[in-house]
């Protein structure tokens, strides 16, 4: 692996806790739930009536031409907003650089489901000639990355990886790899999602994947708790600017943390269930540590994928024990911020890497809320209910996707 080092110089996010970094991070530190009864549609016919919705979001200010926001699916609007925040935060001025050295990898696990639903209904009720000519470019999963490159004039590598709920981590990780290899000097990378929609709700609910704790939305997402009954859908975007270290230093950039490791693997086991022994994620974690030339005991905080499903949280606990050995129960803090945001699907890893970085920056580990009776099979230090002040030098973020896709990212204090 090349000795080129990669750092994080910009952060942008849109989440159920707020439409920027500060409000999202403040919400996570406060242990505040962003989950409530669904307002974007009438949830009454659905088994699950709750979600982590993005609130009071206005897309127009994030587009150079405001009307272009109305030609974009909601997931793209989130992606463009988060990317612009990350670009602004980084202070990177593309006009002073070779734009072919700045790339974009901002993916989506599902893509423009809202556009697909709406235009399919138009086709059936009004006829095929009434379907919008923007339908295809609005719904495809790569279009957010394309639009972000157009918005900022970025001519570098532009692509996306779609791996369900591991999408953000794979996009950030592969962008990291391209910078390490010398194909680019900087990337906007992460993920976005917006699927709190009839097909999304019905599809996940009929898999028996969603919580039905509709009478107490803020308590429904409870990773590692004995009484968890499924995940809660969330939406939003998390995008980071990652940059080659010397490139960042040459322009005097503020550096949040160094991205030092990236691990990938497959469970090769089941469409949606994790491999029960945790060996797949454990291998990804081990690979990230190997790339970083770090030992398990060097990691203080792990932001878990833990979605609040029965099988998933136990399998990840086993993976953490496999990867970290004695350190898993002796000094490693593990929390799931999905307890507050819900599961943001393809955007989850972006937001969770940001939480991991901010834990290093602020010296605060966000909690896992709604721990009332911790599952004895999830016997880790899950930072229950209240954030914890702690010096974090190294943090790891896990993301796993349907199909058995595993991806781990490792960040370190500079």
388 neighbors 274 (Cβ within 8 angstroms): no
Going by C-beta distance under 8 Å and a sequence separation of 6 or more, which residues neighbour residue 26?
A: 17, 18
400 has which bridge partners?
A: 406
> Does residue 13 carry a catalytic annotation?
no
The whole-angstrom separation of Cα 383 and Cα 356 is 14
Work out the burial of residue 2: count CB atoms within 10 Å of its CB; fewer than 13 is exposed, 13-18 middle, 19 or more buried: exposed
Q: What's phi and psi for 102, nearest 5 deg?
A: -120, 120
> Does residue 343 carry a catalytic annotation?
yes
Instruction: Please identify which of the residues 247, 291, 305, 405 carries the catalytic annotation.
Output: 305
Instruction: Please identify which of the residues 152, 247, 291, 343 carries the catalytic annotation.
Output: 343
The whole-angstrom separation of Cα 295 and Cα 290 is 8
Which of 356, 336, 303 lies closest to 228 in space, CA to CA?
Answer: 336
Q: What is the crossing angle of helices 21-30 and 348-362, to 10°?
A: 80
**Helices (H) then strands (E): counts for the chain:** 12, 13
Please say whether the dihedral angle defined by the alpha carbons of residues 410, 52, 104 and 10, taken in this order, is positive or negative.
negative
> Does residue 165 carry a catalytic annotation?
yes
Residue located via tokens 């911790």: 374
Instruction: Please identify which of the residues 165, 247, 291, 378 carries the catalytic annotation.
Output: 165
**Residue 224: both structure tokens together:** 């590692």
User: What element of type H or E holds 350?
Assistant: helix 348-362
The whole-angstrom separation of Cα 222 and Cα 175 is 32
Task: Assign residue 236 a region (left: φ > 0; alpha: ψ between -120 and 50; beta: otherwise).
Answer: left
The whole-angstrom separation of Cα 259 and Cα 288 is 10
Which of 244, 256, 259, 261 lies closest to 359 in space, CA to CA?
Answer: 256
The whole-angstrom separation of Cα 4 and Cα 394 is 19
Q: What angle do CA 102, 106, 109 make, to 5 degrees?
A: 160
List the catalytic residues. 165, 305, 343
């Amino acid at each position: 692996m090349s000795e080129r080092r990669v750092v994080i110089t910009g952060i942008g996010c849109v989440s159920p806790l707020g439409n920027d970094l500060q409000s999202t991070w403040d919400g996570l530190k406060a242990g505040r739930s962003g989950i409530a009864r669904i307002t974007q549609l009438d949830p009454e016919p659905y088994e699950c009536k709750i979600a982590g919705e993005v609130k009071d979001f206005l897309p127009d200010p994030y587009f150079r031409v405001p009307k272009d926001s109305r030609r974009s699916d909601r997931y793209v609007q989130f992606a463009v907003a988060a990317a612009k925040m990350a670009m602004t935060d980084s202070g990177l001025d593309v006009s002073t650089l070779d734009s072919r050295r700045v790339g974009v990898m901002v993916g989506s696990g599902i893509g423009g489901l809202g556009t697909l639903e709406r235009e399919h209904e138009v086709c059936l009720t009004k006829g095929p000639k009434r379907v919008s000519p923007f339908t295809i470019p609005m719904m495809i999963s790569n279009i957010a990355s394309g639009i972000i490159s157009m918005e900022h004039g970025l001519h570098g590598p532009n692509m996306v990886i779609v791996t369900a709920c591991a999408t953000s981590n794979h996009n950030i990780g592969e962008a990291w790899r391209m910078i390490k290899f010398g194909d680019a000097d900087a990337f906007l990378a992460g993920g976005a999602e917006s699927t709190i929609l009839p097909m999304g709700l019905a599809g996940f609910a009929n898999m028996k994947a969603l919580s039905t704790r509709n009478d107490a939305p803020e308590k429904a997402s409870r990773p590692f708790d004995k009484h968890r009954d499924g995940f809660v859908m969330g939406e939003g975007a998390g995008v980071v600017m990652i940059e080659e270290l010397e490139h960042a230093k040459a322009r005097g950039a503020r550096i949040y943390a160094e991205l030092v490791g990236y691990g990938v693997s497959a469970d090769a086991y089941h469409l949606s269930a994790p491999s029960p022994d945790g060996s797949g994620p454990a291998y990804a974690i081990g690979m990230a540590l190997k790339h970083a030339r770090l030992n398990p005991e060097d990691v203080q905080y792990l932001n878990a994928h833990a979605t609040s499903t029965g099988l998933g949280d136990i399998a990840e606990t086993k993976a953490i024990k496999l990867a970290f050995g004695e350190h898993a129960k002796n000094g490693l803090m593990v929390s799931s911020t999905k307890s507050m945001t819900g599961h943001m699907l393809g955007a989850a890893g972006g937001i969770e890497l940001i939480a991991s970085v901010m834990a290093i920056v602020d010296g605060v580990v966000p909690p896992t809320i709604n721990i009332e009776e911790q599952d004895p099979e999830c016997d880790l230090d899950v930072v229950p209910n209240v954030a914890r002040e702690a010096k974090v030098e190294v943090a790891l973020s896990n993301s796993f996707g349907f199909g058995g896709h595993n991806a781990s990212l490792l960040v370190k204090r500079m």
